[in-house]
Each structure stands twice: as C-alpha cells, then as structure tokens.
C-alpha cells in the first residue's frame, strides 16, 4: 500500500477541544467507519459465542433428554456442524475486528504524527525559544503512542464491552430474569471505584509524563552538547544530573504502577465474589428445579461473559486516563499558533534590490526588556554593514529581524522602501542567505547539502562552480566519493572551516540579494581563513551584506561599521574614520592587533615545534574565547 492510500486531508487542528472526549472523538474523523466495523465485528463474534452457550443448553436439555428417551440421532451432526460454524464465525470476526482496530489506531496516529511534525517546524521562533526539544520529542512519540493505545485498545474495548454486555445480558434475561439481575449487582461499586482510581491515576500519569519529558530533555541536551560536556570534563556532573531526574522518574513511575496494582486485585475480588454468588444462586435454583440443568450450564458459561466486560469496564476507565492526559499534552502543541509564512500585503514577483533602512527600530523578546533601542541606519543595495560589539549587545537579534524570525516591536524597518512586515516571510527568506557561525549540515551527501533549499534542478556543473567559488571543490574531491560523500554520523566529519565553505557554496547557489554572515572565519585556522575570505568576497559581491563580526579583520572592508552596546549603536563609520577617533573601536583594534602579533610569534614558534612533532594542527587563534577578542565596553 502506498503512503497516499489513506488521505491525511483532515486538519488535525479541528480536533482541538476543551472536552477531551469530544476531542478524541473528533480525531477519529475519517476512521469512524473502520472503528464501527471493528466494534460490530466484535459484536458478531460475541453473539456467536453467546449462541454457542444457547446451543449447548438446547443440546443438553432437548437432544440428550430425547436421546435418553430413545429419540432420534440425526440432529447430532447438525448440532456438531452448528458448534463448528459458530466457532468459525467467532474466530473470523475476532480477526477482522483486530485488523480494523489496528487500521483505525495506526491510521489516526500516523496522521497525527505527520501533522505534529509539520506543525512543529512551522511554529514561531518565540515558541521554540521557550520549549525544550526533549519535551517536543516526548509529546510527538510517547504521547502519540499513548493515543494509539487509546484507540487500539480502549476505544475499541469500550465498544466491545458495551456490546458484549448488552448481548449477554439479554441472553441472560432470556434464561432467567432473577438470575440475570443478581449477576450485575456489582456494577455500581465497580464504577465508583474506577472513577476514584481514574482521577488519581490521571494526576499521577500526568506527572509521570512530565518527568519522562524532563528526562528526554536532559538526554537530548547531553547528546547535542556531548563535545562541550567532554571538553569541560563534566561527565560526572551530567551523570549526576541525569541520575537525579531518573530517580524522580522512578519514584513517579513506581507510584503510578502501585496505583494500578492496587486497582486490579480490588476489582478482581469484587468480580470474583460476584461470580461466586451467581454460581451459588444458579446451582441452588437448579437443585430446587427452578431452572433446568441446561440453563444452569448455559448460565455458567454466560456469566463469565458478563463479569468479563464489567471487570474490563473498570480497567478501561482507569486506562483511559492515559489517553486523556496524552491528548491534552499533544493538543497543547497543536493549538499553538503557526508562523504565518505567506501572509503579507505585497508579493513582488522578481528579486528585491536590497536597500535596507532601519529607523528608530526597537525590539524586545519579553515585555519591558528592550534588547534593541532606537537603531537607525541605512544600507544601500549591494553595500555591506558590519556589526561589532560584545556578546549580548544585540548583533544576532538585529540581523534576525531581517528574515522576520522575530518582529520588531517599534520603529520602521524597510526593504526597498517597503515596510518589512508587508512582505510575506517565505518571500523575504527566499531573498536572504544566512551563513551561520557553525553551519548545520544534514546527514546527506555533500551535493545534497549544497543544493539544499535551492528549489530547482541544479546541474553538476553549477554545483561544482559554486563549490569552486567557495574554495571547497578540491576538499570535496579529496574524499573517495567526491560530491556523493555522506556527511555526518554515517559519513565523513567536516572541519568547521569546511562546513562553512559548504554553507557558502549553498548560498552561492541560492543566489540571494541579501546576505547575513555570522563571522564565518572565527573558528578556522589562518590558512583557511584566507581562502574563506576570498570565497566570502566572491559571495558578497553585489549583495547587501550584514556581517556579525567578532574580529576586526572581518569588518575592515565593510562600507559601514556599527558598534553596538546594550542594544544601541554607540559608534558608526568606516574602519578609517573609526580608528582615527578615540573609542571602543580603536581600543579593540589596538588590543587585537597586539594579541595577533603575539600569537603570530607563538605560532611561528609552534610551527618550528610542529616540525619536530610537538604541536598539534589547530591554530591557537581559533581557540580564543570570544570575550577575549571583544572585551565588554564597560
């Protein structure tokens, strides 16, 4: 069966409801017929079972009785065939029901999973800032699976229980009304008890899932930051932290299981007593001759099928708590607003020119905590602006406004004279290329990484030209599989500089009018730095460029330099004008020049040692912490 055999067309967002049962019902849209089929099949199977007992009564009371009196033997074969036929019907429909139940549950959760995956990648940056990845993973996996169980076991089970109970109760009434009524006295206490447990287990399960999410988050952070953990030799700390959370999970899981294990024996005792009472009363009635032996036999078989659903009703009510909790956790994510990608009042057909102007732009992530204040400057199309300032001064935030990752909260920001928020985000992003400080490459081939997001068929010659311009072609050819080399976990590991150059090639292919560069040379050694700089110059030619700079070298050639401090522009000009005046820029320039000098001398010494095999490959420049390069203004 293909992926499209069952449509995903239902908008899962419609299943959001404050009433969890209503929501769970809505989520079944498109699968209710399967669900009905599964329940009806079960009912048919149940009826076949009940009829078997009635046939047994007939056999014992009528046929055996008649035979004893010297009656006919022919119907025996018919009766035997009847038993076989009923068994086949029961088995067949049980199987059919299982298949349909699986289809319902797997179908609903497949659709839900796909929806969540897509939804999560469309949520706003602000939402992602405030939500831990582990939490999202937990909700998309463990909680979705709890919902799958809800549909596969509990929803179908509920239908089955109601049908089984009804059919068998009617059959019991047929046998004997008094006996039938005696057999169900246990229902009220079972329901009261289940509701009590349902409430407690819901709370505990909620806590259990929260803690599981915390564990996922710790695990995920540790895996992502495995290098940092090792570099700082923090394994022991990480282990202790995980152990604390794991202990808490153990505690909550244990309490939850305890609650479950308290429930089962209690309900089993109740049901056992009920069954015993039924047997005893039935036997007494048979002895007194109020019912026939056949009726008693049938009753003994049927009562199990009455007790069984009652016992399971309680179990189901309790288990449904997990589905309800998980529904809420999943819906919390689903009801988050998406970032409107294509909303905007203008939609230019061609490319922008790239003329950008900030007029008293301000921005805050949280109310009353301005991160950018009254930023004003203009960057004509094709020119470059370098942003300099200590960590936390707002450089990243400023450039993140351009692709509308975040919305500026005050002032005016225009592109080609049109207010930025008039442009649809998807259009804007198609016009902007971002080279991050640590570019992310996917675990695919190098070629796929270079052509990522280009959105059109690209020839090998084009890919190669981009790679050449990004000074990474030769590096790629040095791998045995060239452009088909896999990157990442299952393939080669690229150095920081190589990754950056692949990212540059990617942007060259994309060919945007506006560029954002996060100081792409700070983590590479001096030799590749020259190559990257050359690649960057080719990339920047003719494009409006914003450079987040950590080092003076990266900003010297910029048309305009802005020095930021605490979200404000404190100095602006070109390299020449800024070194000529006293201030932060000149301080940095002199400091860095001195450091570079010392380092060069050390490096030269290092190179001599290296020849004698003492030093490693890495340049020490790259190991400098950013704060050392750019001391705070204060």
Rule CB under 6 A: which residues touch ligand ADP?
129, 365, 371, 389, 391-397
Q: How far apart are CA 213 and CA 219, in angstroms?
A: 10
151, 350, 379, 429, 539 from 434: Cα distances, Å? 44, 20, 17, 9, 11
**Phi-psi sector, 445: left (phi>0), alpha (psi -120 to 50), beta:** beta
Burial class (CB in 10 A: 0-12, 13-18, 19+), 277: middle
| Residue 35 vs 408, nearer CB to ligand ADP | 408
| Residue 344 vs 370, nearer CB to ligand ADP | 370
The CB-of-570 to ligand ADP minimum distance in angstroms stands at: 13
The CB-of-372 to ligand ADP minimum distance in angstroms stands at: 8
> What does the buried/exposed string (b/e) look like for 334-359 if buried means 16 or more CB atoms within 10 Å of the residue's CB?
beeeebeeeebeeeeeeebbbbbbbe
The CB-of-437 to ligand ADP minimum distance in angstroms stands at: 10
The CB-of-418 to ligand ADP minimum distance in angstroms stands at: 25
The CB-of-125 to ligand ADP minimum distance in angstroms stands at: 7
| Residue 124 vs 430, nearer CB to ligand ADP | 124
| Residue 395 vs 429, nearer CB to ligand ADP | 395
What are the φ/ψ torsions at residue 69 (nearest 5 degrees)?
A: -90, 15
| Residue 44 vs 555, nearer CB to ligand ADP | 555
The CB-of-552 to ligand ADP minimum distance in angstroms stands at: 16
The CB-of-619 to ligand ADP minimum distance in angstroms stands at: 23
| Residue 425 vs 473, nearer CB to ligand ADP | 425
| Residue 154 vs 393, nearer CB to ligand ADP | 393
Burial class (CB in 10 A: 0-12, 13-18, 19+), 433: buried
29, 111, 327, 445 from 13: Cα distances, Å? 12, 12, 13, 36
The CB-of-567 to ligand ADP minimum distance in angstroms stands at: 7
Angle at 154 between CA 151 and CA 156, to 5 degrees: 70
What are the φ/ψ torsions at residue 336 (nearest 5 degrees)?
A: -70, 145
What are the φ/ψ torsions at residue 245 (nearest 5 degrees)?
A: -65, -35
| Residue 129 vs 576, nearer CB to ligand ADP | 129
Q: How far apart are CA 106 and CA 110, in angstroms?
A: 6
CB 604 within 8 A of CB 367: no
| Residue 159 vs 389, nearer CB to ligand ADP | 389
The CB-of-626 to ligand ADP minimum distance in angstroms stands at: 8
Element (H, E) at 137: helix 133-138
Residues in Cβ contact with 431 at an 8 Å cutoff, skipping those fewer than 6 apart:
351, 352, 354, 512, 513, 514
């Amino acid at each position: 069966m293909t992926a499209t055999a069952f449509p995903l067309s239902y908008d899962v967002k419609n299943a959001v409801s404050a009433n969890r049962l209503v929501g769970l019902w809505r989520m079944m849209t498109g699968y209710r017929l399967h669900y009905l089929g599964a329940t009806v099949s079960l009912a048919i199977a149940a009826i076949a079972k009940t009829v078997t007992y009635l046939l047994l009564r007939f056999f014992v009371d009528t046929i055996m009785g008649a035979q004893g009196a010297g009656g006919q033997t022919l119907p025996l074969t018919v009766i035997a065939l009847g038993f076989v036929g009923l068994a086949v019907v029961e088995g067949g429909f049980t199987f059919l029901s299982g298949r349909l139940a699986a289809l319902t549950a797997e179908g609903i959760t497949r659709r839900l999973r796909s929806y969540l995956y897509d939804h999560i990648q469309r949520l706003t940056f602000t939402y992602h800032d405030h939500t831990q990845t582990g939490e999202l993973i937990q909700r998309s996996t463990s909680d979705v699976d709890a919902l799958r169980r809800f549909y596969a076991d509990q929803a179908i089970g509920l239908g089955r229980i109601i049908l089984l109970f009804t059919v068998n109760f009617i059959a019991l009434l047929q046998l004997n009304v008094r006996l039938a009524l005696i057999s169900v006295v246990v229902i009220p206490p079972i329901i009261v008890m289940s509701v009590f447990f349902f409430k407690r287990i819901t709370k505990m399960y909620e806590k259990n899932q929260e803690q599981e999410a915390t564990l996922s988050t710790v695990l995920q952070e540790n895996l992502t930051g495995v290098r940092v953990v090792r570099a700082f030799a923090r394994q022991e700390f990480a282990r202790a932290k995980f152990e604390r959370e794991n202990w808490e999970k153990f505690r909550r899981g244990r309490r939850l299981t305890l609650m479950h294990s308290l429930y089962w024996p209690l309900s089993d005792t109740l049901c056992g007593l009920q069954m015993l009472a039924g047997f005893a009363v039935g036997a007494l009635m048979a002895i007194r001759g109020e019912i026939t032996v056949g009726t008693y036999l049938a009753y003994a078989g049927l009562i199990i099928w009455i007790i069984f659903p009652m016992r399971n009703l309680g179990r189901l009510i309790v288990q449904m708590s997990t589905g309800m909790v998980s529904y809420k956790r999943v819906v919390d994510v689903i009801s988050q607003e998406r970032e409107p990608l294509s909303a905007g009042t203008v939609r230019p057909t061609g490319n922008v020119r790239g003329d950008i102007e900030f007029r008293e732009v301000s921005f805050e992530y949280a109310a009353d905590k301005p991160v950018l204040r009254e930023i004003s400057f203009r960057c004509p199309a094709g020119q470059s602006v370098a942003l300099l300032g200590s960590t936390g001064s707002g450089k990243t935030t400023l450039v993140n406004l351009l692709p509308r990752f975040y919305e500026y909260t005050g002032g005016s920001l225009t592109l080609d004279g049109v207010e930025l928020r008039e442009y649809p985000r998807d259009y804007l992003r198609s016009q902007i290329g971002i080279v991050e400080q640590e570019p992310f490459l996917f675990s695919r081939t190098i070629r796929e990484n270079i052509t990522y997001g280009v959105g059109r068929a690209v020839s090998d010659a084009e890919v190669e030209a981009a790679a050449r311009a990004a000074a990474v072609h030769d590096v790629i050819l040095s791998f045995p599989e060239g452009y088909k080399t896999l990157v990442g976990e299952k393939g080669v590991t690229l150095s920081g500089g190589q990754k950056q150059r692949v990212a540059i090639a990617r942007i060259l292919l994309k060919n945007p009018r506006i560029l954002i560069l996060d100081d792409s040379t700070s983590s590479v050694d001096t030799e590749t730095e020259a190559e990257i700089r050359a690649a960057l110059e080719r990339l920047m030619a003719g494009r409006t460029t914003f450079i987040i700079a950590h080092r003076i070298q990266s900003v010297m050639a910029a048309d305009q330099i802005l020095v930021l401090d605490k979200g404000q522009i404190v100095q602006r000009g070109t390299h020449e004008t800024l070194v000529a005046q006293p201030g932060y820029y000149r301080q940095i320039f002199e400091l860095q020049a001195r450091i570079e000098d010392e380092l060069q001398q050390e490096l030269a010494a290092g190179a001599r040692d290296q020849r004698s095999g003492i030093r490693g490959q890495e340049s020490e420049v790259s190991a400098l912490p950013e704060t050392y390069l750019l001391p705070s203004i204060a």
